[in-house]
Amino acid sequence: MPSPIVSVLLTVYNREAYLSESIESVLGQTFGDFELVIVDDGSTDSSVEVARRYERLDRRVRVVVNPCNLGQFPNRNHAASLATAPFIKFHDSDDVMYPHCLAVMVPPLRNEPRAGFGLSGDRSWPGCPVPTLLTPRQAYQREFLGFGLFMYGPGSALIRTDVFRDLQGFEDYGTPSDTIFWMHACARYPVLLLPGDLFYYRTHPGQTLQAPGVARAYAAVTGHAWRALAADDCPLSEDERRLARRNLASTTAKLIWRAGRSGDLRLAWARAAECGISAGEWVRYLRRPHRSPIAGLEPATP
């Protein structure tokens, strides 16, 4: 059997309530040339039985059960190592892909070989029709000088398998591992903006983002961004970096202030300690933010 175009990677941990709907939304795609790799991370409920049922019904489905629990992002990397297709699409076990999801994502990425991956949010990308290719510099301009690009989950991307492997997958920083991954990936590869709202992102009490401690994990994101802006491969110009630091310092100060005002002094402290901004840098960069909705839209200035 020839290898499929897309490997849909579904990582599961105790999701019997939503798993059937999630799998069926993949099998109901109008783009049929995929394999669905379901990797169970040691569920204690009936998730594996549910997955096996579909494996028996549809030969595009492959179920793998981990001998020990890897955790969310290491399990995503493990799933990616099992992919046989040139493109990978993470699909969460509690989400629902709309039938046109793969059909919308795959052709633009195939037609734009310069892009390492495509990104789709829950809304339209402002300022341009899609698909639109962003250079690393434009991606960083959108994130740091505009209104953001890196806040979406793994399910929002279609990634070239060799690019994902070249980037060595997600580094595990807990919940914000995706944001930190986009930050590294967009510095190295052009990204293709895709139409939005291609799947239903379910919010429910059992999901990781609702777990306590997530706010603490996110406190580390500023530190990563601060380092990315100082890194040799940062695609922004000197002036842009200065502005980006200003915006980041302002956002961080606001978050520290908010945590303090709601009485969570430990969180406020964690945010201050983990942001990586030194006292001298606070003095230098704590100014009014300056963001523009058209950042990353204009052709790069020489």
Q: Which residues bind other proteins (CB under 8 A)?
A: 96, 98-100, 103-104, 122-124, 128-130, 195-198, 200-202
Minimum CB separation of residue 97 from other proteins in Å reads: 10
Which residue lies nearer to other proteins by CB, 196 or 260?
196
Contact 4, 105 (CB under 8 A): no
| Host H or E run for residue 39 | strand 34-40
Minimum CB separation of residue 14 from other proteins in Å reads: 21
CA 149 to chain centre: 10
Minimum CB separation of residue 185 from other proteins in Å reads: 23
Which residue lies nearer to other proteins by CB, 231 or 294?
294
Minimum CB separation of residue 100 from other proteins in Å reads: 5
Which residue lies nearer to other proteins by CB, 17 or 64?
17
In degrees and rounded to multiples of 5, residue 131 shows phi and psi of -70, 140
AA letter at 16 = E
Rounded to the nearest 10 degrees, the angle between the axes of helix 214-230 and helix 177-188 is: 20
Which residue lies nearer to other proteins by CB, 57 or 128?
128
In DSSP terms, 63 is beta-bridged to 38
Minimum CB separation of residue 11 from other proteins in Å reads: 20
Tokens 């994502």 belong to residue: 105
d(CA 251, CA 246): 9
Which residue lies nearer to other proteins by CB, 166 or 298?
298
Contact 116, 159 (CB under 8 A): yes
